[in-house]
Amino acid sequence: MSERKKVLIVDDDPDFAAGIRAILDTQYDTVVVHNPKDGWEALQKDRYDLLCLDIMMGRGAEGVMMARKIRKDKVLREMPVLIITGLREQIAFLFPGQAVHPGFVPVDELVEKPVEPDLLLQRAGALIAASEARQGR
Amino acid sequence: MTEQRRRVLLIDDEEVVLDSCLAILEDSEHDVAVAASGAEGLDKARAWMPDLVFVDLKMPGMSGMEVLEKIRAFDPTIVCVVFTGFATIASAVEAMKHGAYDFLPKPFTPDEFRTMIRRGLEQRAVVVERTALRREREALRENFAAIVSHELRSPLAAVQQNLFVTIRELDGVVTDEQRQRLQRMSSRIADLLALVNRWLRGFSVDVAPLKEGFRPVAISGPVANAVESAQIEAVRKAVDVIAEADPAAVVMGDEGALTEALVNVVGNAVKYSREGGSVVVSVGRQDGMVVVSVTDSGVGIPAADLPRIFDAFYRGHAAESGVAGAGIGLALTRRIVEVHGGSISATSDPGRGSVFVIKLPALDSPVPGQEETPPQQVSKGEAG
């Protein structure tokens, strides 16, 4: 096996982020930040194989803003983004039958808070594998 | 005590009454205006926004009763007192039925008039405060989703996430009993989260954007989905759910949302049915509308509860009868139906059952009263 993949977690709730990290730590190198600004800086400094992104941060849906910014970035748009949000109800209601808002990053996947450990590991693994296959590695 | 000057409007066609009232109020701390006819009084009430209005019942032209009704319709927080000539108790009672706060029989003494002014203004203060409280409650309701999502949901999710991890990490370390205890904690948190989610769906879901994705939907689809989703409960209670769908009934709408609306109504019908009862879902067309009626033979809804069952959080007698629910389903259903340009209503015979009727504008339906529609006319509106 190659070296451990790197996952960045952006979530403004430290306790929730710790719960996610404890699960992902078993298989990945994880870094946790608590706001989109620090998240963006982390993405500039290091290369990550997966971003776990909270939607409702700060004064509103700042996670959406960050996801849009990532999509516009030539390098970062290749990175898979796993949305972890408490708002699935609303998103699913507005976009029935779709995993997530069509305006998001095309590689998005969405899971609802709280997330079962097995489901989280499975989704994270699938996104990283799909991304590697896409990039021909 | 009152720092702000209060406004009193007097409407009477008898000049002598107005003059003597003005004389009584000359040294008072209130602003007073007078009008010599119903029409003039109504105009002044609308322009000047008085706190308290005295209106004579017997006036030529617009009657006092009409003035009273129109002022109440314009602003129900304006307190109205009627002057009554002679001993016309019957008309005074009639006026109070139309919203008058009290009546003052003529002739009255200056003290009686002052006392009535004081009482009327006290009533005004009470009404204004009550209205402000009601508005505050409405605003709170609208912000409820935001409050719930941040203040309640986040900590619950954080606790649950850490319980998930802890249970996993302690697998094989703790005793079975300890593991079960942890799992009970987790399952109680899950229940709480599910409850919060139901609230969220009722309040934060903005139904207006659904309109952008409207397309023709055969109503039989959502009906079938709703019946299917009610089946588990129906089987448990041996309730027979009969659906009579009309495949030609088509509306412009959002299939998912319409399903959600019907799931709530059909689900309720089953929930409030007696064991072994039946629920009939029928689809028909009437006056350019697709009409879905859901009839149950259940416990029914008390007449006092009927007007409020579509209000959010209202649970009426359901709360006492122990049927689970958050009082959200019908409120959400109404919002969905209304965004489709439709309406929902309910009638009930307590003890015998209820009928819920959803009406939605039919697509390509013939103009009412015109049974035969040429095909070219039908296809005209069907661009999408």
The answer to whether residue A127 is domain-embedded is yes
pLDDT for the residue numbered B91: 84
pLDDT surpassing 70 at residue B1: no
> Which of the four pLDDT bands, split at 50, 70 and 90, describes residue B361?
very high
Alpha carbon of A75: minimum distance to chain B alpha carbons (Å): 32
Whether A94 sits inside 8 A of B255 (CB atoms) is no
pLDDT confidence of residue A83? 86
Residue with tokens 């006290």: B122
In this predicted structure, which of A46-60, B214-228, B242-256, B367-381 has the lowest mean pLDDT?
B367-381
Domain holding A112, by residue range, is: 6-134
CB contact under 8 A, B209 and A94: yes
Task: Note the pLDDT of residue A136.
Answer: 78
Neighbours of B91 (CB within 10 A): 18
Q: What is the mean pLDDT of residues A90-103?
A: 43
Say what percent of chain B tops pLDDT 90.
Answer: 43
Interface probe, candidates B156, B160, B161, chain A, greatest A C-beta count within 10 A: B161
Q: Is residue A1 part of a domain?
A: no
Report for B2-11, B161-170, B269-278: range of highest mean pLDDT? B161-170
Predicted complex ipTM: 0.80
Q: For residue B45, give Cα distances in angstroms to A53, B36, B117.
A: 58, 13, 17
- Sign of torsion over alpha carbons B261, B262, B267, B273: positive
Per-residue pLDDT at B358:
95
Identify the pLDDT of residue A42.
Answer: 96
**Terminal-to-terminal C-alpha distance of chain B:** 66
Whether the model clears a pTM of 0.80, i.e. scores above it, the answer is no
User: Does residue A29 form part of some domain?
Assistant: yes
CB contact under 8 A, B164 and A117: yes
In this prediction, residue B363 carries a pLDDT of 87
Question: Which residue of B158, B197, B205 is in closest CB contact with A13?
Answer: B158
Contact assessment for residue B148 and residue B200, using Cβ atoms and an 8 Å cutoff: yes
CATH architecture assigned to B209-370: 2-Layer Sandwich (3.30)
- CA of B210 vs chain A CAs: smallest distance (Å): 7
In three state form, how does the secondary structure of B22-68 look?
Answer: HHHHCCCCCEEEEECCHHHHHHHHHHHCCCEEEEECCCCCCCHHHHH
Residue A73 covered by a domain: yes
Using an 8 Å CB-CB cutoff, list chain A residues near B161: 15-16, 19-20, 113-115
Give B187-246 pLDDT, tens digit per residue.
989 888 877 776 666 655 667 767 777 889 999 999 998 898 888 889 888 999 999 878
pLDDT at A2: 63
Range from B283-287, B291-295, B298-302, B359-363 carrying the lowest mean pLDDT = B298-302
Q: Do B162 and A15 touch (CB under 8 A)?
A: yes
Report the CATH number at residue A111: 3.40.50.2300
Q: What is the pLDDT of residue B192?
A: 86
Are the Cβ atoms of A94 and B205 closer than 8 angstroms?
Answer: yes
pLDDT for the residue numbered B384: 34
**Signed CA dihedral, B284, B287, B288, B293: sign only:** negative
Q: What pairing do the DSSP bridges indicate for beta strands B278-286 and B289-296?
A: antiparallel
Q: Residue B264: list chain A partners with CB under 8 A.
A: none
Instruction: State which fold the B7-108 domain adopts.
Output: Rossmann fold (3.40.50)
Rounded to the nearest angstrom, the minimum Cα separation between B365 and chain A is: 27
Our count of domains for chain A comes to 1
Question: Rounded to the nearest 5°, which phi and psi values hold at B279?
Answer: -125, 130
Residue B154, pLDDT > 70, answer yes
